[in-house]
Amino acid sequence: MSRPGRLPVESTSEQRIVLHVDMDCFYAACERLREPPLRGEPVVVGMGYEPGETVGAVATASYEAREHGVESAQSIERALELLPRREADPDAEPTAYYRPVDMSYYEDVSEEVQSVLAEHADVLRAVSIDEAYLDVTDRTDWESVEQFAGELKTEIADTVGVEASVGVAPTMSAAKIASDHDKPDGLTVVEPGSVQSFLAPLDVEDIHEVGPKTVTELAEMGIETAGELADADPAALVDRFGERGRAIYRYARGEDDRDVTPVGKPKSLSRESSLPAEAGGSRTVREQVRTLADAVADRANRRDALYQTIGIKVVTPPFDINTRERSLSGPVDRPELVRSVALDLLAEFADREVRKVGVFVSGLSFSAGDQASLAEWDGDSDGTEIETHTNETDTTPQSSSGSRRLSGQTTLADFR
């Protein structure tokens, strides 16, 4: 008899072992990590949403909120009709806690998860803030992989404090579908030889590269499940969809020879924070920028990253996004320089109302040997100075507190 969450072996052929790790309702999980009383309660995280407002869209809804019809991409206005704010009417039922997206915080939590994953993988490919593929072929075998994946889930929960669902399969596409098979906190293992039988009853929309338009066109061909797609005439699929028709036919049959490959290094790192309306005052803003600068410098240090540009982002009423940045003559890892440059750039906004501030570093380099000496930042004997650049851009409302992290920033190439 097969074990729970594990599909039976139909072949003993040796194949790759791929894990797809998908964090469950990640933004909501992060908010619960920050506010433990939110655990077990309906939580809605909104893009372009500010506390007390009705504008914006749902970025993530916890499973408790989904039970009342709240869904991702739904308007906050509609979500509030289904689940009023707990703070506004604590005696009403049902209600939910609403929080704005805090991308910088979520990235910090994501980095902690990635650190755990990296210790368990031969190759790690992080494809978004809340999901990643792991090639663990040389770390375990098909007899032990369920225990291996279970221990990984436990370590993420114990070390970071968030839950993950994990899918295991010989291919990337099947592993991704498996991770969604038993959410939340699920673990599904699809062994070699079982991939096609696992996929067959699923809706065709679950297959890699099959979007809503393709679903409609496949339905016109009488194809609604992965099994029907796998049994279709590949020539007819190519006639209808070109080479993509051949690709989706192969995916439906469990054929996927893509390797798990790492994603490139980031081009910038940032932290930003909204300021309460009652906070006010240049001193409060400077303290916030100092804190953000230290956090960005620490993140760069933990990633062994050097940076050649230091900048700030300042949002002023109504939604004016201003960036100021300073390019250095070489890459450095100097937390005190990030702090001092950020505060110096902030001086321009001393007499202005500020709704949000951010600090970023860019022009990243990941070779410690490239670091320049401190003497260069004080000005060389020939009078070389650090160059400052200004951008005033974008007066449209932001989509979220973190999704437009470096809006309006000119790239480093523009300064050379």
Q: Are strands 164-169 and 187-189 parallel, antiparallel or unpaired?
A: parallel
Residue in 97, 122, 129 with CA at minimum distance from that of residue 26: 129
Computed over its alpha carbons, how large is the radius of gyration of the chain?
25
Instruction: Tell me the C-alpha distance between 404 and 73, whole Å.
Output: 17
Nearest residue to 366 (alpha-carbon basis) of 236, 265, 242, 231: 265
DSSP secondary structure code for residue 185 in this structure: S
Amino acid identity, position 16: R
131 is catalytic: yes
Sheet holding 57-61, edge to edge: 57-61, 43-47, 97-100
Marked catalytic residue, from 50, 131, 146, 272: 131
Tokens describing residue 318: 């109504």
Tell me how far apart the alpha carbons of residues 56 and 48 are, in angstroms, rounded to a whole number.
4
| E runs forming strands in 217-366 | 268-274, 307-316, 320-332, 356-362
For every residue of 135-160, DSSP letters joined together read E-TTT--TTTHHHHHHHHHHHHHHHT
| Distance of alpha carbon 66 from alpha carbon 79, whole angstroms | 10
Answer yes or no: are the C-beta atoms of 269 and 296 closer than 8 Å.
Answer: yes
Map residue 282 onto helix, strand or coil. Answer: helix
Instruction: Give residue 340's Cα distance to chain centre.
Output: 30
Could you give the residue numbers annotated as active site?
131
